Homo-oligomer: A and B are copies of this chain.
């Protein structure tokens, strides 16, 4: 019996390819139109996906000029989508660097109640450099400090969610007693970065805690994931790299006193699907032809915290020396490393590199027929490079529709993917248990 796989739909603009929005298969709806996102969520639910997911950046960024951007805020969007769907999990990104922990704990608890236990929190420290100045900082706090804060932050948020016993509410109109106040406790958190009294002002979420998702892959990021993450998004340009990451992270979880199954690992997969492999390649070439060197350069520069690549020649092989050392990068360290590794290995031209990144910003990109995509998925799962995938359709909704209509049935036929939902919560879909409440034993 093959291992069942997990599928998360990563919703991003009108598709993940930088030029996806210019393709006829992309929606013409505005990115502020909730009905666009509702249609995607319903489509993913019809395809029996585990979850949908919104990333988040706390600045507009210069690329907005050429890329469909300016979308709804994830927490409010998910609250609305909770009423448009009934089973699928809903994951929102929120920042530990720029949000008050009481506010974040509370909004995610509220979302989990609204959705009946279908919420996940993608914990990020916010890599974009421009976020800092939107929150009173001269510049964003450094990578190490962001993670040190995040570590304490997650402790605060868990303690707030656990500040109510699951049975704290009595709700007896006869006696007039509503709450067993002894089953709700202050947390009196006094740490290096946060002081939060608590308790939270609403009951423990249906899932106990929303699912903790994480997407940082630097050394610090992986250590963080090993301790806290229940699902991990990650970017790899090869199966080998994904398999190494997979083994390392499962080991890390075990070293941290957890079980390998306590972390679900979901690498990004950008699949350009056509009726035939040839049609799929044509699609990808069409999309690449629509990209713009300036947009690509500005995005590459962003990932490296503002480093200027514009003086490099476009059509000569690059070498690792053309890039700063990823471990000195204050923005997205792990993505910087994915890129420099690729450069060292393949020596692409700058033009070629930008094309390769245009598809999915450093995630694995494949073009092929539905059969071919299903094979890749099965292969990665069997090779223990993944527990499932973070699907990143290059064009939305067209490429999601093809995946749901043509790839999902193949996976189902092979017994790899559910035909019907077997659970009602995101924890249930991912095979994760409901966390006990350490403060209240029953």
Interface residues of A (CB under 8 A from B): 19, 21-23, 26, 30-34, 38, 57-62, 64-73, 75-77, 79-80, 82-84, 98-100, 102-103, 106-107, 109-111, 113-114, 130, 133-136, 164, 169, 171, 173-174, 176-179, 181, 184, 194-203, 290, 292
Contacts and interface: CB of A to CB of B under 8 A. Distances in A.
A166 to B, nearest CB: 12
Number of copies: 2
A99 B106 CA distance: 13
A72 B114 contact: yes
Interface centre among A103, A111, A199, A200 (most CB of B within 10 A): A103
A80 to B, nearest CB: 5
Contact of A83 (B83, B178, B184): B83
Nearest to A133: B197
A186 to B, nearest CB: 9
Contacts of A75: 75-76, 79, 107
Contacts of A31: 202
A164 B343 CA distance: 38
Contacts of A34: 82-83, 113-114
Nearest to A188: B133
Contact of A32 (B23, B77, B203): B203
Contacts of A194: 136
A58 to B, nearest CB: 7
A77 B106 CA distance: 12
A386 to B, nearest CB: 31
Given A31-B202, A59-B201, A66-B176, 8 more contacts: A23-B173, A30-B171, A65-B181, A69-B179, A70-B169, A70-B201, A73-B202, A133-B197
A95 B164 CA distance: 24
Nearest to A95: B103
20 contacts: A19-B176, A21-B173, A21-B178, A22-B173, A22-B176, A32-B203, A62-B181, A64-B178, A65-B179, A70-B169, A70-B179, A73-B106, A75-B79, A76-B76, A76-B79, A76-B107, A80-B82, A83-B83, A102-B135, A136-B194
Nearest to A137: B195
B197 A130 contact: yes
A135 B58 CA distance: 21
B83 A202 contact: no
Given A75-B107, A107-B73, A68 B181 contact: no
A31 to B, nearest CB: 8
B79 A113 contact: no
A208 B34 CA distance: 18
Q: Which 6 A/B pairs are nearest by Cβ-Cβ distance?
A: A79-B79, A133-B197, A73-B110, A32-B113, A22-B173, A76-B79
Contacts of A32: 110, 113, 202-203
Contacts of A196: 133-136
A362 to B, nearest CB: 22
A201 B31 CA distance: 12
Contacts of A73: 106-107, 109-110, 202
B99 A100 contact: yes
Nearest to A79: B79
Contacts of A57: 201
Contacts of A21: 173, 178
